[in-house]
Amino acid sequence: MRSILTSVVALAVAAPAFASDLVINFDDLNPAPKAAFEAAVEAFKAENPDINVTVNINDREAHKTAIRNFLTADAPDVTSWYPGNRMAPFTDTGLFQGVDDVWDENGLRETFASIEATMTRDGVTYGVPYSYYQWGIYYRKDIFDKLGLEEFETWDDMLAGCAQMKEVGVTPFTIGTKFLWTAAGVFDYINLRTNGYDVHNGLTGGEIAYTDPRIVATFDNWEQLINECGFVDNHASMSWQDALTPFVNGDAGMYVMGNFAVSAMKDAGLSNDQIDYMPFPSINPDVARAEEAPADAFFIPTNATNVENAKKFLAFVARADVQSAWNDTIGQLPPNSEATVSDDKFIQEGFATVSSAAGLAQFYDRDAPAAMASEGMKGFQEFMLDTSKKMEVLERLDGVQAEVY
């Protein structure tokens, strides 16, 4: 009897030794994203006690460098990375594996419909997104109220509103283009509103030239925005955080930004009543409204050793309840359309805006190949500093495009 008991105990103790492993590399050390990730891993462990989970959390920039080595040399079973063109170098060299089965078996094609296109390349779907966030115009509500302005619906509304702001000495837009990508946000929105989602993809995919009349029209609108609305002086020497200063001080009224800027605005002393969000106004009423919503996702490297467990984890991350809890912690939007969002007004409005969009762009520098994005964003900055160089910039970008694709 005793011998049977001991052998049962021994079996129970020994059981974890037969358990399988799962190694996850994650790329955000900031408190909230790290806590959300760790909470999700704990929940996954509780549901799968037989899986021995190991996590490596690295800094975002370090991860960008490290991933280029570890995918070949020492691949984890799951790694975080970005969809769109940013995953292309890894999917094209076969370093990421397709997870179409995860998408089909869990009904992700329906619940993740709006983002499926950017997770797919050459007909294969890679990875599962766990979070994204909206872009749009963040504005000083107190300034708008004092001037009697409403949220802008159309381009003309916005130009008229800008004129009113300038009259009282408020610069309509703040921006900091030192690190270039902020200018790409403005360009993307004007382009999405002027020409729509397909032209955005055509341009970043190398099928539409920069001197194409449609893109020139985008730049014409941008020139109008610079002349009739206007951005703060010295934007080329400011980072996006530096550019908050005039916004917080009330010298500038609007900021085309991602939702992560809200916490920075609040840290700088603005209250929830002083700031608000509006989607970028429409320019061409015939163009279906598409939005910028850069996503973060998990991928399975080809060299992963525990693929079954990795797929289990991806299916777990995709679940509505997991996505709700995760994004509630980090203050972003869950890509799963069945997930619930927190009652923060920016999240509520953002979710309404993004989930009803006709298409979701990942951002110029994630949709275009790196070499194109780098030159393109330099061109945007050059144009913003001197709009008379418009055609010169566009012709140069045509040359880069011809070479890159």
Partner 1 sequence: MAVIDAPSITTPPQAGWLKRNKLSIAPWIFLAPALAFFTLYVVMPIFESLYLSLFEWNGLYDADGNSTAVYIGLENYAKLWDDPNFRTSLVNNLLWLFLFFLAVPLGLLIALFLNQEMPGMRIYKSLFFFPFVISQVVVGLIFGWFYNPDFGVVGTIWKALFCEETVNFVGNVTFKCSSPPPDILSSPEFATYGIIAAGLWPQIAYCMILYLTGLNNVAADQIEAARLDGAKGWKMLWYVVLPQLRPATFIAVVVTVIGALRSFDMIAIMTQGGPFGSTNVLAYYMYEVAISEYGERYGYGSAVAVVLFAIMLVFISYFLWRMYQDEKGTR
Which of the ranges 25-33, 119-127, 197-205, 247-255 carries the binding residues for partner 1, by CB under 8 A? Answer: 247-255
Asked if residue 382 binds partner 1 (CB under 8 A), the reply is yes
At residue 206, φ and ψ (nearest 5 deg) are: 85, 10
3 state DSSP class of 28: coil
Closest CA to 253 of 238, 267, 237, 270: 270
Sign for the pseudo-dihedral over CA of 155, 160, 163, 165 = negative
- Give residues 302-321 in contact with partner 1 (rule: CB under 8 A): 302-303
Q: Give Cα 117 distance to the centre of its chain.
A: 14
Asked if residue 90 binds partner 1 (CB under 8 A), the reply is yes
Q: Kindly state the tokens that stand for 43.
A: 């929940």
Of 120, 245, 324, 342, the one binding partner 1 (CB under 8 A) is 245
- Give residues 124-143 in contact with partner 1 (rule: CB under 8 A): 140, 142-143
Bridge-based pairing state of the strands 124-125 and 120-121: antiparallel
Specify whether the CB–CB gap between 21 and 54 falls below 8 A.
Answer: yes
Q: Which residues lie below 8 Å from residue 386, measured CB to CB, with a gap of 6+?
A: none
Asked if residue 182 binds partner 1 (CB under 8 A), the reply is no
Asked if residue 390 binds partner 1 (CB under 8 A), the reply is no
Asked if residue 374 binds partner 1 (CB under 8 A), the reply is yes
C-alpha dist (Å) from residue 356 to 111, 178, 337: 13, 33, 10
Q: Which is nearer to partner 1, 68 or 266 (CB)?
A: 68
* DSSP states along 348-391: HHHHHHHHT-S-EE--HHHHS-HHHHHHHHHHHHHHHH-GGGHH
Give the shortest CB-77-to-partner 1 separation in angstroms: 14
Asked if residue 337 binds partner 1 (CB under 8 A), the reply is no
Asked if residue 233 binds partner 1 (CB under 8 A), the reply is yes
Which of the ranges 16-24, 122-130, 233-241, 282-290 carries the binding residues for partner 1, by CB under 8 A? Answer: 233-241
Of 381, 394, 397, 401, the one binding partner 1 (CB under 8 A) is 381
Cβ neighbours, 10 Å, residue 365: 23
Asked if residue 170 binds partner 1 (CB under 8 A), the reply is yes
Give the shortest CB-374-to-partner 1 separation in angstroms: 4
Asked if residue 394 binds partner 1 (CB under 8 A), the reply is no
Give the shortest CB-142-to-partner 1 separation in angstroms: 6
Give the shortest CB-155-to-partner 1 separation in angstroms: 24
Asked if residue 168 binds partner 1 (CB under 8 A), the reply is yes
Q: Kindly state the tokens that stand for 348.
A: 């509520």
Q: Give Cα 116 distance to the centre of its chain.
A: 14
Asked if residue 267 binds partner 1 (CB under 8 A), the reply is no
Q: Which residues bind partner 1 (CB under 8 A)?
A: 64, 68, 71-73, 89-90, 93-95, 140, 142-143, 146, 168-170, 178-180, 233-238, 242, 245, 249-251, 301-303, 365, 370-371, 373-375, 378-379, 381-382, 385, 396, 403
